[in-house]
Amino acid sequence: MDFGFGPEDEEFRAEARTWLAEHLTGGFADVAGSGGPGSEHEDGAVRRAWERELGKGGWIGLGWGPTSYGNREATLTQQVVWAEEYARVRAPGRYGHIGENLLAPTLLAYGSREQQDEFLPPIARGETLWCQGYSEPGAGSDLAGLRTGAVRDGDGTYRITGQKVWTSLAHEADWCFVLARTEEGSRGPGLGRGHHGLSFLLVPMDQPGRIEVRPIRQLTGTSEFNEVFFDGARVRAAHVVGGEGNGWRVAMGLLGFERGVSTLVQQIGFAEELAGVVRDAVSSGAVRDPVLRDRLVRQWAGLRVMRWNALRTLGGAGGGAGAASVAKLLWGGWHQRLGELAMEVRGAAAAVGPEAWSPTTPYELDSTQRLFLFTRADTIYGGSDEIQRNIIAERVLGLPREAKGSR
């Protein structure tokens, strides 16, 4: 499938290559390839500086449309070109993805002009980092069951009380967009799915004593996501996006922005991981096993299918309801199978851990071990496979909704 790159796109590619060659040097070049899935903790200070470098070059916010907040304007094909070139040189994993690709499009679609003018320029400059306050204990896949509440005071602010969990990069973020219940009593028996009475609030994280962030240690030994506790955290009323009570609409709109050009960046990273597994299989002689060789070919074919699907939806065909769920099902299962395959290629050696280890001491994993352990969560986070299949069944195929409370 040809995505239709033209002469202007190739000029844009040359500009991107030149800029990356001139700026991905020194300390930035030293951290090339760091910060990917399972390694988000790596080289934080240098990668934050790299975000500001990208901002100076106008490379943040290419897909924001005709409005300009210090960002370059780029067509869809040029955004793909930038993603490909960025991945080709193994530039550092992006720290500002949540602000650039989730919050910014949401503000452009639902936010006021004042909110756009306040929050988009520092994102475009690479100066502010954001995290997402959606999931809660007991309200992950069933997000409408959330309990975190926000009460409006007479001084033009809200006080937020509650807990969020699996909050990626909350320990680094300057701001958090939080889905909270602003209508008292809107959650409870007989009140439907709890979609009503929710608001989408922009919360500053620098509130000692009112916001506590507790890192969650993962199988990989690192802590990329966190629990976040709000105890009367303050939010300005002017920082409610889309108006009070319209949070569900805004939140669902944001989830629709999760698919996009960034999926192609992800797939380029997947291709590099697959190439590494193939190299291991060839060097170890494991590739002589016909069953394993067949699985390697299937992984290659699956990656091509993901790319064609991404280009199809980006090009305007096959989008709409269920498209994001299909994409999530494709890449989640594929990446998890790759982690399993990588371990099988290495054989018994893949199970050998570091020489020195203790429950309280961080331990180092090699790339294969990190890939395997991290991908165990791929079919759970971002909406489990079961939830994605329900969305496709109910919203795309029109099948009857699953009976609630039947088990």
pLDDT tens-place string over residues 265-300: 788 889 989 999 999 999 999 999 999 999 999 999
Residues 6+ apart with CB under 8 A from 243: 199
Whether the CB-CB separation of 184 and 152 falls below 8 Å is answered with no
Angle at 361 between CA 359 and CA 364, to 5 degrees: 105
Task: Give start-end residues of each CATH 1.20.140.10 domain in the chain.
Answer: 262-396
pTM of the shown model: 0.86
Give the type of residue at 12: F
d(CA 177, CA 113): 17
Task: Give start-end residues of each CATH 2.40.110.10 domain in the chain.
Answer: 130-246
Tens-place pLDDT, residues 66-90: 777 888 989 888 988 998 899 889 8
Which one of 258, 340, 344, 394 is the catalytic residue?
Answer: 258
| Phi/psi at 197 (5° precision) | 75, 15
Q: What is the pLDDT along the chain (407 residues), one digit of tens a residue?
A: 456 788 999 999 999 999 999 999 999 999 888 877 667 777 789 999 999 999 999 999 998 877 778 889 898 889 889 988 998 898 998 889 999 999 999 999 999 999 999 999 999 999 999 999 999 998 877 788 899 999 999 888 999 999 999 999 999 999 999 999 998 766 654 444 568 899 999 999 999 999 999 999 888 878 888 999 999 999 999 999 999 999 999 998 887 776 666 677 788 889 989 999 999 999 999 999 999 999 999 999 999 999 888 878 776 655 566 788 888 899 999 999 999 999 999 998 888 876 655 566 556 788 899 899 999 999 988 788 998 899 899 888 999 987 765 44
Question: What does the chain come to in residues?
Answer: 407
Whether the CB-CB separation of 87 and 96 falls below 8 Å is answered with no
Domain 130-246, what fold?
Butyryl-CoA Dehydrogenase, subunit A; domain 2 (2.40.110)
258 is catalytic: yes
Residue 224, classed as helix, strand or coil, is coil
Cα 246 from chain centroid?
23
Residue 387, classed as helix, strand or coil, is helix
Tens-place pLDDT, residues 107-159: 999 999 999 999 999 999 999 999 999 999 988 777 888 999 999 998 889 99
d(CA 342, CA 365): 14
Q: Left, alpha or beta for 6 (phi > 0: left; psi -120 to 50: alpha)? A: beta
Question: What pLDDT is attached to residue 190?
Answer: 41
262-396: which CATH number, 1.10.3720.10, 1.10.10.10, 3.40.50.720, 1.20.140.10? Answer: 1.20.140.10
